Amino acid sequence: MNKRFEDIARRKQALIEKAAVERAELAAAYHRMRSPFDLGRAFVGIGRALKAYPIIAAAISSILVSGYAGKLLRGAGEMFKLWRLALPIRTWWSKRRRVSS
């Protein structure tokens, strides 16, 4: 009878360790996947704001039609260059935060 309890305890410990490994794998997969979902959430938020305040959508379209679009896109291009420079720093910072947590 005692041997049976030892076997049950061993199997229980093995299951606990397996569950811990699976939890760690699931957490890592979530962190890899979270970034694209955050971007999608931002686009949904922008869409909801435009739907809730149609005057904003009208203002954006009038700016684009009036000719200021070229100047804005030039500025957006500069912002994109800045983002490409800042991306490695952001990646390093997020890895650093994950390691310290």
Cβ contacts of 63 within 8 Å, gap of 6 or more: 69, 72
Cβ contacts of 22 within 8 Å, gap of 6 or more: none
Give the model's pLDDT for residue 59.
85
Say what the pTM is: 0.37
Q: Where are the domains of the chain?
A: 1-52
Question: Which sign does the torsion angle of CA 38, 83, 81, 75 carry?
Answer: positive
- Ordered per-residue pLDDT tens for the chain, 101 residues: 788 889 999 999 999 999 999 999 998 888 777 766 677 788 888 888 888 888 888 888 887 777 776 776 677 777 777 777 777 777 787 777 777 66
